[in-house]
Amino acid sequence: MQDSQPKPSRRGFFFGAAATGAAAAAVIALPGVQLPEAATAEPKPAPEKGGGYKLSEHVKRYYQTTRI
C-alpha cells in the first residue's frame, strides 16, 4: 500500500519555523498597533423592588414550544 500523504521534510519544517519567527518579529516591531477592544454594553440597573422578570413575546413563544 502506498501512503497518500508524503513524509514531512526538513525543508517544510524550516519554512514553517521561519514564517513563525517572522510573524513574531512583526508583532514585536509594531508596538503602536493596538487591538480593538470589545464593545461592552452597560448593564441595566436592578429593579428597586426586586423581580425583573418580564413575560415578553419571545418568552411566551419559548414556553409554547416546550409544551408536550
pLDDT confidence of residue 30:
74
Shortest CA distance to 35 belongs to which of 24, 25, 44, 27?
27
pTM of the model: 0.36
Q: How confident is the model at residue 65 (pLDDT cuts 50, 70, 90)?
A: very high
Letter for the amino acid at 35? L
Cell numbers that stand for 27 in this block: 508583532
2-59 per-position pLDDT tens digit: 667 767 788 888 888 888 888 888 777 776 666 566 666 777 777 777 777 778 899 8
DSSP labels, 22-46: HHHHHHHH-TT--PPPPP-PPPPPP
What is the rounded CA–CA span in Å between residue 59 and residue 50?
A: 19
pLDDT confidence of residue 13:
85
